[in-house]
Amino acid sequence: MSQRISIIIPALNEGDGITSTLARLTPCRADGHEVIVVDGGSCDETMALARPLSDQVISSECGRARQMNRGAALASGDILLFLHADTQLPENGLLLIQSALSAKKTWGRFDVRLSGQHPLFRVIEKMMNWRSSFSGISTGDQAIFVLRDQFERIGGFPEQLLMEDVELSRRLKKIVPPFCIRTPLTTSSRRWEQRGIFTTILLMWRLRFLYWLGVDARKLAKMYR
């Protein structure tokens, strides 16, 4: 194995789906990579379900940025992969990451496919991928991966309540643009299904625009809830 990958999964009340996500990573662990689940205070069975399928399951203060930084601090891999608990990598995902990274490309992300079958989800995912390719900004849904030394060099995720993935991308792309893996991962469409497709689209674009204007992430987090 050329480079060991540490897969860091922040979780909060993900008992319904965490087993499925982690089970798909079993071959990765067999190949020598590691899986670290960082729980932010779940009140369901998330931690108990995760333990048999992970190398480490730890508790952290709630907040995705804090959780991912805590996992990164304990990771032993050369590459850090930040994977949402409701997201599944393509079968050869880790090989694609290893092939993507080099001295000139130190971080990147995947194209995304939403799990839902509604035709509008095909439009949304295309727009997400296009926006990311055009802007060089990646979101957590796209499974950001980065060389460990580069992540440490920029100080990790900013510990803010929202847009931590956007801010990390901003800092990384100042050094080098991301590598975009076109083989898509699959992430849950539950956010759109629960809140409504158009309502969620409008909310996310509004939050991004306000963040671009400089609105504090704490205020945006209250709007997101």
Residue 129: the pLDDT is: 96
Q: What was the pLDDT predicted at 194?
A: 84
Three-class secondary structure of residue 157 per DSSP: coil
Q: Extract the residue ranges of the chain whose pLDDT is less than 70.
A: 1, 225
127 assigned to some structural domain: yes
CA distances from 17 to 34, 45, 46, 88, 144 (A): 19, 11, 9, 10, 20
134 in a domain, yes or no?
yes
Look at the pTM and tell me if it is higher than 0.85.
Answer: yes
What pLDDT is stored for residue 59 in this prediction? 95
Q: How many CB atoms lie within 10 A of CB 10?
A: 26
Q: For residue 222, tell me if it sits in a domain.
A: no
Contact 88, 20 (CB under 8 A): yes
Cα distance between the two ends of the chain: 42
pLDDT number for residue 70: 97
Alpha helices in the chain (DSSP H): 18-23, 26-30, 46-50, 64-74, 93-100, 119-135, 148-153, 164-173, 190-195, 197-213, 217-224
Is the distance from CB of 50 to CB of 18 less than 8 angstroms?
Answer: yes
Q: What is each CA distance from 149 to 18, 19, 28, 35, 152, in whole angstroms?
A: 29, 30, 22, 19, 5
Q: What is the CATH number of the domain that holds 170?
A: 3.90.550.10
pLDDT of 218: 80
- As a whole number of angstroms, the distance between CA 98 and CA 90 comes to 14
Residue 205 domain-assigned?
no
Q: Specify if 150 maps to a domain.
A: yes
Q: What is the pLDDT of residue 204?
A: 83
Is 198 among the domain residues?
A: no
In whole angstroms, what is the distance from residue 37 CA to residue 29 CA? 13
Task: Please report whether residue 163 resides in a domain.
Answer: yes
Whole-number pLDDT of residue 81: 98
Q: What pLDDT, on the 0 to 100 scale, is given for residue 200?
A: 85
Quick: pLDDT tens for 69-113.
Answer: 999 999 999 999 999 999 999 989 999 999 999 778 999 999 999
Which residue range is the domain that position 49 belongs to?
5-190
Greatest CA separation found in the chain? 46
CA-nearest of 14, 81, 79 to 45 is 14
Residue 103 within a domain: yes
